[in-house]
Homo-oligomer: A and B are copies of this chain.
Amino acid sequence: MTTPPPARVGDPAGAIDTPALVIDLDAFDRNLDRMAAFAKETGMRVRPHAKTHKSPMVAWLQIERGAVGQCCQKVAEAEILVDAGISDVLVSNQVVGEAKVARLAALARRARISVCADDPLQVDAYAAAARRFGVEIHVLVEIDVGAARCGVAPGAPAVDLARRIAEADGLTFDGVQAYHGSAQHIRGFLERGKAIELAGESLAMTVDALAAAGLECRTIGGAGTGSFRFETGSGLWNELQPGSYCFMDADYARNLGEDGSEGLEFEHALFVASTVMSASAPGRAVVDAGHKAASVDSGLPTVWQRRDTDYVSASDEHGKLSLSAAASPLGLGDRVWLVPGHVDPTVNLHDWYVGVRGGLDDGHVESVWPVAARGALT
């Protein structure tokens, strides 16, 4: 059920079959280097998020550059990372259900495994499984720092849960998970900073209360591609969990910088290669990439380096482009590079990454990597 790769190593980039998920390896390497340099400068631990890339190959390239390990959201993702030899994995999520928790504990025989909790029932289940498998599981208390999704309330409820973890045989209390997901996409720089400032207040209060209870946090984790400079600047967090920075997407491109301008701190390095399959009316072209090739949950794809051409609507297998009168025309068979609206669910639609070196149009295929954790839902 894995589809054939849309290209072979050595092919010219123009020979990639479409739709295909393509990495501009030059931009991608620069993105990895930039985050690694930031970590070195600031002394922050970086644990990139594999929910974005779902690829042990990408994970290893991050770890080679100093990342302390990986985080992911699902046990099935963690299994694939550990199978690829990655020795430090955080499931930055709650794991619920006997079978899933058993799989988590089994992984802890082969790697350092951490997981989040926001409920005593989870803690008890983790502990029982850890004892059954004879392992130690590291547990972070997730606190709700403003996203109103998962997480206990800051302060006393977090201390109660941390104590339960610390006292459980088989578990190690590792610290606090304080991730503000919805803040990543607040467009204004100051407003985004403000959201993280408020998150920091909840976090500081919680860490103080934990310390007063004799519970030390080895890890204070959170932050994403949209906010990691704020968490770093606060001096409160010590571990960053950015995912999208390696690839970027059209949604992140709408975040504003300090001077109010759009401007990415990292480069677009991930594209959906598409082909014009119909051009039956003036000013219109239809490409072969719709919902099943690029997720639209955070907006439509944008068209890369074609002025005056917009991707105006998606259906399952079609993307409709609108060309202004000034746009250079598009004909049947022409290649169009799309920047996905949202990287993570787009990656999850594809079986293969095609890595291109030397430019999307004139370069060649240097790598074909499986999206190994594609569909790893459980």
* Chain A residues packing against B (C-beta within 8 Å): 1-3, 6, 17-20, 51, 73-74, 76, 93-97, 99-100, 118-119, 121-122, 144, 148-153, 181, 275-281, 284, 286, 288, 291-293, 295-297, 314-318, 320, 332-333, 342, 344-345, 348-351, 370-372, 374-378
- Report whether B2 and A150 are in contact in the complex, using a CB–CB cutoff of 8 Å: no
Complex interface: chain B residues within 8 A of A121 (CB): 332-333
- Report whether A3 and B333 are in contact in the complex, using a CB–CB cutoff of 8 Å: no
Question: CA–CA, A17 to B99, complex, Å?
Answer: 8
Q: How far is the CB of A76 from chain B (nearest CB, A)?
A: 7
In terms of DSSP, what is the predominant structure of the interface of chain A?
Answer: loop
Query: Given that A121-B332, A122-B332, A291-B297 are contacting pairs, would A96 and B1 also be in contact in the complex, using a CB cutoff of 8 Å?
Result: no
Query: Given that A3-B377, A350-B375 are contacting pairs, would A94 and B17 also be in contact in the complex, using a CB cutoff of 8 Å?
Result: no
Query: Given that A286-B149, A351-B375 are contacting pairs, would A118 and B280 also be in contact in the complex, using a CB cutoff of 8 Å?
Result: yes
- A18, A118, A291, A375: residue with the most chain B Cβ atoms closer than 10 Å: A375
- Report whether B152 and A280 are in contact in the complex, using a CB–CB cutoff of 8 Å: yes
Q: What are some 7 contacts across the A-B interface (CB < 8 A)?
A: A3-B376, A3-B377, A93-B277, A96-B276, A149-B318, A292-B345, A350-B375
Complex interface: chain B residues within 8 A of A292 (CB): 344-345, 348, 377
Complex interface: chain B residues within 8 A of A320 (CB): 148-149
What 9 A-B pairs come out closest when comparing CB atoms? A150-B278, A73-B317, A96-B277, A291-B345, A1-B2, A118-B280, A94-B277, A3-B375, A316-B344
- Report whether A280 and B144 are in contact in the complex, using a CB–CB cutoff of 8 Å: yes
Complex interface: chain B residues within 8 A of A374 (CB): 1, 375
Query: Which single residue of chain B is at the shortest CB-CB distance from A278?
Result: B150
- Report whether A150 and B286 are in contact in the complex, using a CB–CB cutoff of 8 Å: yes
Question: CA–CA, A278 to B93, complex, Å?
Answer: 9
Q: How far is the CB of A238 from chain B (nearest CB, A)?
A: 24
Complex interface: chain B residues within 8 A of A317 (CB): 51, 73-74, 93
Complex interface: chain B residues within 8 A of A153 (CB): 280-281
Question: CA–CA, A350 to B288, complex, Å?
Answer: 21
Q: How far is the CB of A357 from chain B (nearest CB, A)?
A: 22
Q: How far is the CB of A329 from chain B (nearest CB, A)?
A: 14
Complex interface: chain B residues within 8 A of A275 (CB): 96-97
Q: How far is the CB of A142 from chain B (nearest CB, A)?
A: 8
Question: CA–CA, A122 to B17, complex, Å?
Answer: 17
Complex interface: chain B residues within 8 A of A318 (CB): 149-150
* Sample of 11 further A-B pairs with CB below 8 A, known A95-B277, A96-B277: A1-B374, A2-B375, A74-B317, A96-B275, A119-B280, A121-B332, A148-B281, A149-B320, A150-B318, A181-B315, A349-B375
Question: CA–CA, A253 to B97, complex, Å?
Answer: 32
- A1, A288, A342: residue with the most chain B Cβ atoms closer than 10 Å: A1
Query: Which single residue of chain B is at the shortest CB-CB distance from A19?
Result: B377
Query: Given that A149-B318, A332-B119 are contacting pairs, would A1 and B372 also be in contact in the complex, using a CB cutoff of 8 Å?
Result: yes
Question: CA–CA, A320 to B150, complex, Å?
Answer: 9
Complex interface: chain B residues within 8 A of A349 (CB): 348-349, 375, 377
Query: Given that A144-B281, A150-B280, A318-B150 are contacting pairs, would A332 and B96 also be in contact in the complex, using a CB cutoff of 8 Å?
Result: yes
Complex interface: chain B residues within 8 A of A295 (CB): 291, 295, 297
